[in-house]
Structures are given as structure tokens and as C-alpha cells.
Amino acid sequence: MFTIEHEFDATVITLVDDPAGHRQEDVTINAFEDCVTVEQFDPRTERPHKITLSFAQVADLAAALDLPEGAYKLGRPVKR
């Protein structure tokens, strides 16, 4: 399950881990004008963890979900 909200300065997507044997904390994705942040609360430390991605990194991640194992640049395999 997920929710989408449009805030003043960002689009906020929250991914809710549907009930399972070992449920993970919700993941919140904030899409700003210049970057995307991904946050998840850590119940062990009682603090959220946040990473920031550029839009190029988000595009690479989206492409990587549909590609086989390997190293890529701009959708092409990188020669090693």
C-alpha cells in the first residue's frame, strides 16, 4: 500500500509494508525540485535514517530494476 500527497515544496510518497511475518517500518519518499530523499524510522535507535538522491540517481535506480546483472552507464553496459 502507498499514499501520495502534494505538499507546497514536495511530493510525498509513503510506502506502507503490508502485514507480513516481519513488517518493516514505513518508507517516506520526498521529491523536491532538486533532489529526492528517502527516510525510514529505525525503532532500535528511535531515529529516522535519511538518504538523498539526485534525479540522475533516481533514473538509474528505476532503470536498474528492469536490467540484468552488470554495470551500466546511460542504459548501456559498461565494458570492463
pTM for the whole thing? 0.78
Mean pLDDT by 10 residues, the chain (80 residues): 91 85 88 96 95 93 84 68
Angstrom distance (rounded) from CA 80 to CA 75: 16
The string of DSSP letters for 5-58 reads: EE-SS-EEEEE---S-SSPPPPEEEEE-SS-EEEEEEETTTTEEEEEEE-HHHH
- Which amino acid would we find at residue 43? P
pLDDT at residue 33, as a whole number: 94
pLDDT at residue 75, as a whole number: 55
3-state secondary structure of 67: coil
pLDDT at residue 17, as a whole number: 83
pLDDT at residue 80, as a whole number: 60
